């Protein structure tokens, strides 16, 4: 799998052949910053996608760098890809996971001012696990909003079954 770089990222990486500090090279701080950002993107995306050695070489070959710089970038990638992957793994958010769900249907049939009033409400207590702690979130909604939410979630699940989404999820792992 080749790494595809946008024109902006290629431009950011374009200042790498002039490696060094901004003051030494008489180049702007923005140029050095763009070079660092481009190099960071190149290394993190390559590590995230676990690009092979040959695919990495092919990906940077299109940038038009010298063979010496290409070898230097490849060595930098090979030396640091495991550490980059471990750091990226630590940066992923630890999202809560589902544990249990309790629900209740409340119906207000009348009030002092309105005797023939029907006002339904669904109360949901969602129990979640997060970092071995259990938390509970209480939500309340009317049935029509709940039906709309169910339709949206079913639509999202349907989209996850498409080939496009499967490819994206596979590349994220």
Please write the tens of the pLDDT for every residue from 142-152. 999 999 999 99
Residue 173: per-residue pLDDT: 60
Residues 6+ apart with CB under 8 A from 129: 96, 97, 98, 99
Alpha carbons within 13 angstroms on the beta-carbon side of residue 165 total 8
Question: Is it the case that residue 7 has pLDDT exceeding 80?
Answer: no
pLDDT, one tens digit per residue, over 105-134 is 999 888 778 778 889 999 999 999 988 899
Residue 60: exposure state from Cβ atoms within 10 A (0-12, 13-18, ≥19) = buried
Residue 22: per-residue pLDDT: 46
């Amino acid at each position: 799998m080749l790494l595809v770089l946008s024109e902006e990222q290629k431009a950011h990486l374009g200042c790498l052949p002039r490696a060094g500090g901004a003051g030494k090279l008489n180049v702007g701080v923005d140029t050095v910053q763009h070079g660092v950002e481009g190099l960071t993107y190149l290394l993190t995306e390559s590590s995230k996608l676990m690009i092979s050695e040959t695919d990495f070489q092919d990906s940077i070959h299109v940038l038009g760098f010298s063979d010496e710089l290409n070898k230097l970038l490849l060595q930098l990638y090979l030396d640091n890809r495991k550490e980059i992957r471990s750091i990226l793994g630590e940066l992923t958010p630890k999202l809560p996971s589902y544990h249990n769900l309790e629900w209740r249907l409340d119906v207000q049939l009348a009030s002092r001012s309105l005797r023939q009033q029907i006002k339904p409400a669904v109360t949901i207590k969602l129990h979640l696990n997060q970092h071995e702690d259990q938390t509970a979130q209480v939500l309340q909604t009317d049935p029509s909003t709940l039906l709309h939410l169910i339709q949206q979630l079913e639509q999202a699940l349907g989209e996850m079954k498409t080939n496009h989404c499967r490819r994206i999820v596979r590349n994220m792992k």
